[in-house]
Amino acid sequence: MMLPPVTNDMNMMAHADYSAIVDEFEQLLRKHFIYLETNYGFTACTCRLQNLDEPRDATVSIRYKSDTVSLQIGLSLVGAGIGVTFKNEKWIDIPKNQLVKCISLDAVVAFRTNGTAKTLLHELTSSRHKHWPEGFLLTNMGLAIETIAVRVKQYATDIIGGNVLSFPEIAATYRE
């Protein structure tokens, strides 16, 4: 999938038309993460776009929220990365010395597997590079989102079930 160029209109930068990517991202998330709503009582929030005036930083994300925890899945609109963050929605009630608001899915997977599980990048590309090959993520967005949904089910069932007691230990073990 090729991204449309950002165009100039009367000396003002206009937003690139990311609508096809955003639509596909939203459809894939809603398809692969429906279990959060049906099995765990999460509410899917609306799509959120950020930094569209800076094409390198432009992102889209969707948050799934329950009373205890939320899960935010975000995608760089230039295909540079995709990530999942769990947030403790009751963080305000935690003593400051034990406060951990958020952790990433990567940290959860590493913690639960003692660091033996491969990252999503390695799993999908068999690459040792830190970056996605150019165009790979956008071309394989469905596979990436499906893989992430499986990882959440496999390694974070307690968290999506509302148990965030492991946040401090995960954060202490796998600093991001």
Q: Which two tokens stand for residue 126?
A: 């068999």
What are the residues whose beta carbons fall under 8 Å from the beta carbon of 175, sequence distance 6 or more? Answer: none
Q: Mean pLDDT of residues grouped by 10 in the chain (176 residues)? A: 38 57 91 96 91 77 94 82 86 73 88 80 54 71 90 94 90 73
What are the residues whose beta carbons fall under 8 Å from the beta carbon of 143, sequence distance 6 or more? Answer: 124
Residue 53 pLDDT: 75
**CB-based contact 146:90 (threshold 8 Å):** no
Largest alpha-carbon pair distance within the chain? Answer: 55
**CB-based contact 174:167 (threshold 8 Å):** no
CA 137 to chain centre: 13
**CB-based contact 146:32 (threshold 8 Å):** yes
- CA separation for the pair 64, 32 (Å, rounded): 12
- CA separation for the pair 115, 128 (Å, rounded): 16
Q: Which two tokens stand for residue 156?
A: 């974070």
φ/ψ of residue 84, rounded to 5: -130, 130
Neighbours of 153 (CB within 10 A): 15
- CA separation for the pair 48, 127 (Å, rounded): 30
